[in-house]
Every structure is written in structure tokens, then in C-alpha cells.
Amino acid sequence: MLTVEHLTKRFGGLTAVDDVSFTVEEGDFLGIIGPNGAGKTTLFHLITGFLPTDAGEVWFKGKAITGKKAYQISRLGMTRTFQITKPFGQLDVMENVVVAALQQSPALREARERAEEVLRFVGLGAYLHHSVTHLPIGLKKKLELAKALATRPSLLFLDEVMGGLSPDEVRDLMDVLRKVQETGVTLVMIEHVLQAITELTQTLLVLHHGALLAHGATVDVIRDPEVVDAYLGEVEPDAVH
């Protein structure tokens, strides 16, 4: 479904993403982990068209998408969430999702139907006309997910959707993500919450200093001594069983 070849991004003297190649199969749930500053978010920006690449190619469903703009890529069925949620404060929950749905369908009625459908799907059915400014973080993260789903992605990139959530909220959002995968959406998730990585993802990719350190089945990668040294040992050794 997605092929990334030799993707590279430099910021001055720093190579933030260094010759990264991998593929994502349809139906997969791929996790991306790595220490802070390893290049994970920059990799998302490059693939989803939010930053130009210095070298490398990206193919999505057999089409070269390198150099295309984010809105063009989103129309092809690849979309993403952002680490920092930035809803439109003057619009309510439903209106925020309608704006996202309109990217895919310019008909307002259809966009409203889609927005309501995804909001109920993620568990925000009771908040349709609430103000977004006072939503607790757990619900803001669900809103961010609903906005992405409103564009009807076949490939969805999630950037630290679990960040800042309580253990109950993490479990709740994990259930929603399982449901998203069941609807046939292929998922790629950057995440520091290891429980989400180990329980949700089938495949795992590890970035270290911008380069690919490991890529394979999550159960194997999570036990790779190099990965434990570079990342896991440093954060939550107890989380790896």
C-alpha cells in the first residue's frame, strides 16, 4: 500500500531523516518508536506532504506521491493526526469535523452526515455541539481522530494520540483504534506509550538518529537487544515482557 524509499531530510547540518526505506502492507497496524528527536514526526511530515524531501521517493497505492501537497495526498486516501491538537476554537465539535469532511465531499449535507457518523464512532456522540476549547485532553484526542476519519482515509497516520492520557483514556482510545482497524483502515502510529504499541501493532519500526534501526514483527523487534539499548531500556523496561 505504501512504499518509502531512501527518504532523507536535512535541517542545516542535522540529518533528521536519514535514508529511510520501508513498506506498509494493506491492513497492517505499524508502530513507529524511537527516542525524542529520532525523526519520527519529520518522517510523517515527509510522507504526508507537510514538508518537502531532500531525497527519496514515496509511493501510495502504486502512485508516486513525492512532492505532492498534503491536501492532494489526503484526497488520495492518506491522512494524519497531529501531535498537538489545534481545533478551530470558535467552531463547536461537530463543525470542526464538518470542516474536515468537506475536504472529501464538497456537499454540506453529506459532510454533516459523515461528521456525525465518525463522532459517534469515536465516542463523542454526546458532545456534538460542545465548545472545543474546554474539552478535556482525552476528548480532544478523539476529536483529532474524528477529523482524520472524516476524510475517509484508507491509510491513517497517528502522531502520539495517547500522549498525556490517563491509563483509562489510553485503554478507551485503544478500543477505538481496534475498531478503526476492523473497518479496513491501515494504520501507522508514532507512540511512546508502549502498552499501545505492544497491544495494537503487528509490525514495528524503530528510528534512531534519523535512521532505521529495526523493522519487523512487533513481538520480535521489542526484544531486539539493539532496540532495548537504544530506546526501550531507557524508558520503561518493565513494559517489555
Ligand X SMILES: Nc1ncnc2c1ncn2[C@@H]1O[C@H](COP(=O)(O)OP(=O)(O)OP(=O)(O)O)[C@@H](O)[C@H]1O
Residues lying near ligand X in the complex (CB under 6 A) are found at 11, 14, 16, 34, 36-42
User: In the complex, what is the shortest distance from the CB of residue 196 to ligand X, in angstroms, rounded to a whole number?
Assistant: 14
Residue 81's CB: how many other CB atoms inside 10 A? 22
Best CA proximity match to 67, nearest among 81, 82, 47, 84: 47
Q: Provide the pairing of β-strand 186-190 with 155-159.
A: parallel
Nearer to ligand X, 34 or 123 (CB): 34
Q: Which three cell numbers stand for residue 8?
A: 532523507
Q: Give min distance, CB of 103 to ligand X, in A.
A: 25
Q: Please say which residue, 46 or 115, places its beta carbon nearer to ligand X.
A: 46
- Residue 203 near residue 181 (C-beta atoms within 8 A): no
Closest approach, Cβ 51 to ligand X, in A, equals 8
94 or 206: CB nearest ligand X: 206
CB of 46 to ligand X, least distance (A): 10
Nearer to ligand X, 37 or 89 (CB): 37
Q: Which residues contact 215 (CB under 8 A, 6 or more apart)?
A: 22, 203, 204, 205, 206, 221
